[in-house]
Amino acid sequence: MPFTANDLRYRAEQSYPLLYAYLHRNAQRYLGALKYDAFEVDTVIGHVVEQLVRLGILGGEDRTPKVH
């Protein structure tokens, strides 16, 4: 993984493409028969990104407390 939690928190715009590629690869690996269904892959990625934003890990900067 060529990005860190600090990159995701403070440099979300630069690290998002790397995060997306990482999530895409892993979503396809674990979706089994649905791995070629673009809608399902995008749904999984969207859910993960939504949770990272909600937790302040993706783009949280100093507005949210650091995750330990």
pTM over cut 0.85: no
The pLDDT of residue 68: 59
Check residue 59 and give left, alpha or beta (phi > 0: left; psi -120 to 50: alpha). left
The answer, yes or no, to whether residue 66 has pLDDT greater than 70, is: no
Q: How is the chain split among helix, strand and coil, in percent rounded to 5?
A: 65, 0, 35
Nearest to 50 by CA among 42, 38, 39, 62: 42
d(CA 40, CA 59): 24
- 3-53 pLDDT, tens digit per residue, is 788 888 888 888 999 999 999 999 999 998 999 999 999 999 999 999 998
**pLDDT interval class at 61 (50, 70, 90):** confident
